């Protein structure tokens, strides 16, 4: 794959059904239907081959887009965690207080 | 320049001297929806089938790569 280098291939691949595939194929289908409507043809019934082709192209692009996005975010997370390991002084662990310690005593005025 | 010439020609045409001087072969018809362009239909469906096959192949390759690299298979 041209977009993703070797290290990205050890990431779990997205399923065939994934968020961008569904959305972009819907967008492609909508484009075909809009094209039909603007040419004053019945939007759903005409040019089914066009609708199928546009939806397929959207699905295909969506799959590769999800794969690339997963890689980009994984890389960012890995680099961020490595940086945090190398500079622990910049990330002090904050002392956690319970709500009981923070909250002022409650005196109801009814 | 050419546009001016054509304008002059068309205005003089009424004199019927240049009636055989320029003729247009332009024709136009509306798309006949009762006779679809089967070539473009076949190409569209063929391309879709090709892309789906490519997608499934790529997915299975990716899954295999993932399993191999993480020592699962």
Looking at chain B, the whole-number percentage of residues with pLDDT higher than 70 is: 73
Give the separation between CA B11 and CA A15, rounded to whole angstroms.
69
Q: Which is more confidently placed, A100 or B62?
A: B62
Whether residue B61 contacts residue A6, with contact meaning beta carbons closer than 8 Å, is answered with no
Please list the alpha-helical segments (H only) found in chain A.
Answer: 19-38, 48-86, 99-102
Q: Which residue of A has its CA nearest to B52?
A: A56
**Residue A15: which pLDDT band, with cuts at 50, 70 and 90?**
very high
Summarize pLDDT for A78-94 with one digit per residue, the tens. Answer: 999 999 999 999 999 99
ipTM over 0.85: no
Better pLDDT: B14 or A38:
A38
Q: Which residues of A touch B37 (CB under 8 A)?
A: none
| Short-list A23, A43, A47, A41, CA closest to A33 | A43
Distant-in-sequence, close-in-space partners of A62: CB < 8 Å, separation ≥ 6: A18, A19, A20, A21, A22, A23, A24, A25
**Interface residue A52 vs chain B (CB under 8 A):** yes
A39-78 pLDDT, tens per residue? 999 999 999 999 999 999 999 999 999 999 999 999 999 9
Give pLDDT, residue B7: 66
Question: Does the structure show a pLDDT above 60 at B13?
Answer: no
Residues 6+ apart with CB under 8 A from A3: A64, A67, A68, A71
Partners of B70 on chain A (C-beta within 8 Å) are: 10
A8 vs A68: CA distance, rounded Å: 9
Separation in Å, CA of A75 to nearest CA in chain B: 16
Beta strands in chain B, from DSSP E residues, in sequence order: none
The partner residue sitting opposite B66, judged by closest CB among A13, A52, A63, is A13
Please tell me the distance from the alpha carbon of residue B62 to that of residue A3, in angstroms, as a whole number: 13
What does the radius of gyration of chain B's CA atoms come to, in whole angstroms? Answer: 30
Token pair 């239909």: residue: B41
CB contact under 8 Å between B66 and A53, yes or no, is no
């Amino acid at each position: 794959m041209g977009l993703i280098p070797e290290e990205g291939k050890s990431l779990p691949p997205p399923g065939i059904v994934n968020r961008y595939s569904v959305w972009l194929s819907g967008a492609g289908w909508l484009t075909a239907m809009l094209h039909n409507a603007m040419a004053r043809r019945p939007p759903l019934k005409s040019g089914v081959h066009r609708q199928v082709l546009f939806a397929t192209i959207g699905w295909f692009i969506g799959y590769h887009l999800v794969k690339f996005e997963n890689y980009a975010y994984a890389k960012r997370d890995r680099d961020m965690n490595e940086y945090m390991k190398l500079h622990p002084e910049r990330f002090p662990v904050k002392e956690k207080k319970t709500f009981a310690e923070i909250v002022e005593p409650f005196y109801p005025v009814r | 320049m050419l546009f001016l010439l054509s304008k002059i020609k068309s205005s003089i045409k009424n004199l019927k001297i240049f009636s055989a001087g320029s003729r247009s072969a332009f024709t136009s018809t509306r798309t006949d929806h009762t006779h679809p362009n089967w070539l473009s239909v076949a190409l569209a469906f063929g391309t879709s089938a090709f892309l789906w096959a490519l997608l499934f192949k790529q997915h299975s390759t990716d899954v295999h790569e993932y399993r191999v690299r993480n020592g699962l298979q």
